[in-house]
Structure 1
Amino acid sequence: MSQATIGGRNQALNRAAILATLTLILFLTSLIPPSPTGYAAAFPGQNGKFVVTIDTSGSWDLDTFELYVITENASGKNLKRLTYNSEFDFYPAWSTDGKKIAFSRRSQAGNYDIYVMDANGKNQKNLTNTPTIDEVVPAWSPDGQKFAVSSCPNGDFDFDAEEYNCLEIYVMDADGSNKMRLTDDNGQEDYGPTWSPDGQKIAFGTNRDGNREIYVMDADGNNETNLTNHPADDGFFAPYWSPNGEKIAFTTDRDGNWEIYVMNADGSNQTRLTNNDSSDSIPVWSADGQKIAFKTNRDGGNWEIYVMDTVGGNQTRLTNTELQVRILDWQSLGNKKN
């Protein structure tokens, strides 16, 4: 056999070996799970914008509740309206990459569904679209692949009348498919689920013990545990995890009015952060873990956003508008720059 023939055969074998190696590398790479798409507002990152539900009538007319985006140094010129309709839009939640907003909408027919839209308000899409079932209060999972929601299987949810006892906690894919029930309390209220930053736990409010408490459970619905265990109303508003997953902020009326508290993730060391005669509620952590924003009516009855340190210091008014801020969430930009 000639030297040229041997050389050609060796080159062919080398090419075959390289091709096999590349094929193996591509196969192994495909087995690696995708990394998270980003972070929700409860997860580490740089602080972004607020998305808020604003009562444009100022008189608790639910059909005038619209969604706005507002920057941290907000004033009138920093408010940008996202929704324009005669339906009830509420409980907005930033996506894990900060590019989309999920929210609850009540149609004119009285049905509640989960919607998602771009961060600029465009491309609004109904994810659930279930006329006989109500879904509210969406919460993105840390990897952006799922939602936890509160849902009434019989469609009897009534926000106006505070008829919440039909609500149970469900998990579904981010496109609205594969809905799976996690809680089953036979007519008791399970409400306001929020994921822990590591995706292993879900905290929520419930009245299964005769009053509203904050509970936590595994992400598959197992090992439900009462965290607050107090005779007051601790679970009417959704709890909110700190970015490092070590603490949970919540609203309670144990002092005679709504105040902001923080506790360890196991329920210990429950500490009061606000202390005034007005109502302070709906605390949300900043993505950098340094601040907590909340809504309050301490300035004469109008609901505004305040920001404070995580130990309750330096409480500072953020918004100053005649519009009524009802619900808020704080965007995380992950490690990206503004």
Structure 2
Amino acid sequence: MPVLNLQIGGVIMLKRFVLIYLLLIPLALFGQTRFQVVGEPQRLAGGNGDYFHSPVWSPDGQMIAFTSTNYKGLWTLNVENTSITNLSDEAGVGFGFQWSGDSKDIVSRGTQFENARRLDAVKLFNVESKTEKSLTEYRNKIAGLPQWTSDSRQIYFFNGKSLEFVSSGKLLKADVARPVYFTKYGKIYTQVYPTTLAKSSRIVVDDNCLDVRVSPDGRKISYQVMGGNLFVMNTDGSGTTDLGKGHNARWSPDSEYLVYMIATDDGHDFTGSDLYVSRADGSERVIVTRTDD
């Protein structure tokens, strides 16, 4: 029976503290897929007054990036030697950050306040040199989270009026024309990249959406409806599947599965949280963690 070990990073959100942890999950291919957790979660960061959350694996599997309370600051952890590097202490920079395809950079949105006025800037962090670069000036509240194009040559975001592209500085081969996806006032839009080929955008989902994630093969989109469930659909807007409750979904490398969190709260604090794995078509759903408190 062939077995593939999947490494999944996540967050255990307990009543008293938050831990970054690592699980090894064997994927046994025997007629149908079965998931089984092997061993206990291994603490990688957190505790002793440190509160970390929202871990995201680098595409090459060598690093994990994560943030702290209120999304303040950005850190990386080397999986091989568990060394931790602080890339930034800026407010908001840990919300919705995204790795580049070559695992060398992270793009995010930093925030400053001047006379109670919020100003945002798109930031690029190089994990090798531990340096940061501002790709835009600080401006009045950038509405959208910055994202990479599939060829990593450009970074795009909704600036409150239109989709804006800035160069990442990476000298890579330009991608063929393909759509990019973004949220605009809760609705999911698509637009062709490069923009010289088509500047018009169209609505894919007309709902109050957030956390839009395109699958690695570019064929599907996962998204969450605010106050509602987790959904998967084809990139042309067809074939919508309701996966039920779920937050912070991430795709598996083969675009067949999603790992996501289901959290509970008492209206003030998180009281528990567990990780789930589901097929994109909703045909299989397995709980990965079982927290007691």
Give the TM-score category using the shorter length.
0.5 to 0.7
- Residue matched to 1:77: 39
Whether 1:233 aligns to 2:208 is yes
The aligned runs of 1:92-171 (5 Å cut-off) are: 92-106=55-69, 112-119=72-79, 122-130=82-90, 134-137=92-95, 138-154=97-113, 167=120, 169-171=122-124
Which of structures 1 and 2 has the bigger CA Rg? Answer: 1
TM-score, length of structure 1 as denominator length: 0.59
1:200/1:309 CA distance change after superposition, 3 Å: farther
Query: In structure 1, how many angstroms separate the alpha carbons of the residues matched to 2:61 and 2:36?
Result: 19
1:243–1:229 Cα change, 3 Å: closer
Q: Which residue of 1 aligns with 2:261?
A: 295
Q: SS of the residue aligned with 2:88?
A: coil
Q: 1:229 to 1:289 in 2, by over 3 A?
A: closer
Residues in 1 aligned to 2:124 and 2:251: alpha-carbon distance in whole angstroms: 23
Residue 239 of structure 1 aligns to a residue whose secondary structure is strand
1:101 to partner: Cα distance: 1.0
Deviations, residues 84-131 of structure 1 (Å, cap 9, x unaligned): 33133122111232121111134xxx882111111167221111245x
Query: CA offsets, 1:17-54, max 9 Å, x none?
Result: xxxxxxxxxxxxxxxxxxxxxxxxxxxxx763111122
Whether the 8 Å CA contact 1:67–1:81 is kept in 2: the answer is yes
Aligned residues: 249
Whole-angstrom distance in 1 between the partners of 2:115 and 2:191: 25
Structure 1's 169 and 142: CA in aligned 2 closer, same or farther, altered over 3 A? same
Question: RCO higher in 1 or 2 (8 Å CA, sep ≥ 6)?
Answer: 1
Describe the shift of the 1:134–1:286 C-alpha distance in structure 2 as closer, same or farther (beyond 3 A): closer
**Partner Cα distance (2:80, 2:230) in 1:** 32
Mapping of residues 249-264 of structure 1, within 5 Å: 249-253=222-226, 257-264=228-235
Please state how far the C-alpha of 1:196 moved relative to its aligned partner. Answer: 5.1
State the superposition RMSD in angstroms. 4.0
Q: How does 1:196-207 map to 2 (within 5 A)?
A: 197-199=150-152
Q: Superposed, which structure 2 residues align to 1:11-90 within 5 Å?
A: 48-57=6-15, 64-72=17-25, 73=35, 75=37, 77-83=39-45, 84-90=47-53
Counterpart pick for 1:309 among 265, 279, 283:
279
Assess if the C-alpha contact under 8 Å between 1:47 and 1:288 holds in 2. no
Give TM-score scaled by structure 2 length.
0.67
Runs of 5+ consecutive residues of structure 1 not aligned to the other structure? 1-45, 158-162, 324-338
Equivalent AA in structure 1 for residue 243 of structure 2:
T
Q: Give the match for residue 241 of structure 2.
A: 272
Moved over 6 A (4+): 203-210, 216-224
**Residue 133 (structure 2) aligns with:** 179
Distance 1:104 1:171 in 2: 15
SS at match of 1:135: coil
Instruction: Specify the SS of the correspondent of 1:154.
Output: strand
1:251 counterpart SS class:
strand
Deviation sequence 1:203-258 (CA, Å, 0-9, x none)? 7789879833445679999969565452x3202xx3222121232211114xx622
Q: 1:195 to 1:111 in 2, by over 3 A?
A: closer
Q: Which runs of 5+ in 2 are unaligned?
A: 26-34, 162-182, 265-270
Letter aligned with residue 94 of structure 1: W
CA-to-aligned-CA distance 1:142-183 (integer Å, 9 cap, x gap):
0122211122133999xxxxx9x7555433333443423359
CA contact (8 A) 1:206 1:215 kept: no
Q: Structure 1 204/245 Cα, relative in aligned 2: closer, same or farther at 3 Å?
A: farther
Change (3 A) 1:308 1:210: closer
- Looking at secondary structure, tell me which structure has more strand per residue: 2
Cα contact 2:19–2:53 (8 A) shared by 1:
yes
Mapped partners of 2:73, 2:108: distance in 1: 10
What is the percentage of aligned positions where both structures have the same residue? 17
Cα distance in structure 2, aligned partners of 1:281 and 1:263: 19
Alignment partners' CA distance in 2, 1:218 and 1:170: 24
Q: Which structure shows the higher helix fraction?
A: 1
